[in-house]
Amino acid sequence: MRLIISTLAAIGLSAVFAGDVRADAAAGKAAFEAQKCTGCHYADGPAREKSIADQLAKKGPELWYAGSKFKKDWLNAWLQDPKPIRALAYNSLTKKNAGDHPKLSGGDAGNMTDFLMSKTSSEVKAGTIKPKKSLKGKSIFNKKMPCTGCHQSASKKGKVSGGLSGPTLVGASKRLNPDWIYAYLKNPTHFKPFKAMPTFAGLLKDKDLKNVSKHVSKLK
Ligand code: HEC
Ligand code: HEC
């Protein structure tokens, strides 16, 4: 019994010490609530339990699957220096919402990144998509399907082109987890029941959903 108590005390103490040097998800959760992130974002899921009115009640996108969607380093950096991702007024920082987004200090961003990275979706299976060049995926993205009609992307030489109604995919390789891209293309309503992005799962074979996911996860 004494051994158990002293072991527990040691674990408790090391957690306290670790808290000084490492980012802390519990502190991130408290800060997420204190800094009113919840005023613009849902951090609880799943999306399908929400109505259209619920979705429109928040200015920002849902974050309840952030840990499955984002790459950690991108998230940490963006929280300290948020830049627009969506060009249109809805769910966007441009136009009338310009300058609206809180900018976090390094410490707060680290804690909040840890908190958000702990929020994952079981729909996203790790290791499904290896981010490598796919010529098939590239031709689906640029020619066979209307992806570029709604999304911006950059050419090899860095020339940006494409439509503005979807989030920009410039820098998708740094921002998005390849396995999330595939899960999202396969079953978008799991993440957003009321959505402006078409469902391609019936139009493309599973293999091609994987190919186009590979292509998107390489976009610079
Ligand atoms: C006034 C409303 C508002 C508040 C408050 C707010 N956000 Fe946002 N947030 C937005 C909007 C709008 C976007 C979409 C930006 C874009 O796509 O250009 C966004 C985007 C994000 C994204 C990227 C999401 C994605 O899917 O691309 C993250 C992460 C994020 N916010 C975290 C936070 C955190 C953490 C806080 C609290 C410190 C916070 N936000 C507070 C409005 C807000
Ligand atoms: C009719 C316009 C339209 C077309 C066509 C379209 N998308 Fe989208 N896409 C959107 C919109 C709008 C969103 C944002 C989803 C939302 O908020 O409802 C989105 C979201 C996404 C996202 C998630 C981005 C993020 O940061 O959240 C990816 C990845 C994506 N689309 C890839 C594709 C691919 C690949 C294709 C072609 C196979 C495609 N899209 C075709 C409009 C479109």
**Spacing, Cα 134 to ligand 1 middle (Å):** 32
Q: Distances in Å between the alpha carbon of 67 and those of 57, 60, 91, 116, 126?
A: 23, 17, 19, 6, 12
Residues with a CB atom less than 6 Å from ligand 1: 32, 35-37, 39-41, 59-61, 63, 75, 79, 84-86, 91-93, 97, 100-102, 104, 112, 167
25: how many CB neighbours lie within 10 A of its CB?
18
Token couple for 186: 């396969």
pLDDT of residue 20: 44
**Spacing, Cα 216 to ligand 2 middle (Å):** 11
204: how many CB neighbours lie within 10 A of its CB?
17
pLDDT of residue 22: 61
**Ligand 2 site-directed mutation target among 42, 55, 151, most atoms within 8 Å of CB:** 151
159: how many CB neighbours lie within 10 A of its CB?
8
What residue type is assigned to position 86 of the chain? R
pLDDT of residue 7: 46
CA–CA dist 182, 201 (Å, integer): 10
pLDDT of residue 96: 54
Token couple for 4: 């158990």
Per-residue pLDDT of the chain (220 residues; tens, 9 = 90+): 454 544 444 444 444 444 444 679 999 999 999 998 999 999 988 877 788 888 888 888 999 999 999 999 999 999 999 988 988 755 655 555 556 789 999 999 999 999 999 999 999 999 999 988 999 999 999 999 999 999 999 998 999 999 999 999 999 999 999 999 999 999 998 998 877 789 999 999 999 999 999 999 999 9
Alpha carbon nearest to ligand 2 atom 26, residue: 167
Contacts of 139 (CB under 8 A, 6+ apart): none
Nearest listed ligand to the Cα of residue 74: 1
Q: 119, 99, 115: which is closest to 107 by C-alpha?
A: 115
CB of 19 sitting under 6 A from ligand 2: no
CA–CA dist 191, 65 (Å, integer): 8
C-beta of residue 65 within 8 angstroms of C-beta of residue 121: yes
What is the Rg, in whole angstroms, of the alpha carbon atoms belonging to the chain?
19
Nearest listed ligand to the Cα of residue 84: 1
Alpha carbon nearest to ligand 1 atom 33, residue: 37
**Spacing, Cα 151 to ligand 1 middle (Å):** 19
CA–CA dist 8, 104 (Å, integer): 34
